[in-house]
Amino acid sequence: MPDTPEADQIARDIAENVYAAYAHQATSAIHPSNEQVILTRLAEAIRPAIGGSTEDIVAASNTVLDDWETNNPDVRGPRVVTVMPADRSVSMGF
């Protein structure tokens, strides 16, 4: 099994943290079958921004969350405010 490139792993880790924080504060439960869909969309959006500005990562993450809520109007949640790529942490706010 090949090693995952570092940027891909960073994007995946950030995506997982964004999803966990979002799902924890969402106004409605997210069906478990949708978890992987959101995670994949987040990781794919975040990956091109790795190595760039943290604002680009924040914007990419929030675009995915906006799109998700557009297609799932019963779910509302916080948005990414800051990202720390070094430790993959995120902070969320409304």
Amino acid letter at 64? V
What is the Cα–Cα distance from 39 to 3, expressed in whole angstroms?
20
Query: Which pTM was predicted?
Result: 0.94
Maximum Cα interatomic distance, the chain, rounded to a whole number of Å: 40
Which one is predicted more confidently, 69 or 1?
69
DSSP 34-91: HHHHHHHHHHHHHGGGTTS-HHHHHHHHHHHHHHHHHH-TT----EEEEEETTTTEEE
Per-residue pLDDT of 8-66, as tens digits, reads: 999 999 999 999 999 999 999 999 999 999 999 999 999 999 999 999 999 999 999 99
DSSP code, position 92: E
Per DSSP, the three-state class of 18 is helix
CA neighbor of 14 nearest in space, from 93, 92, 74, 94: 92
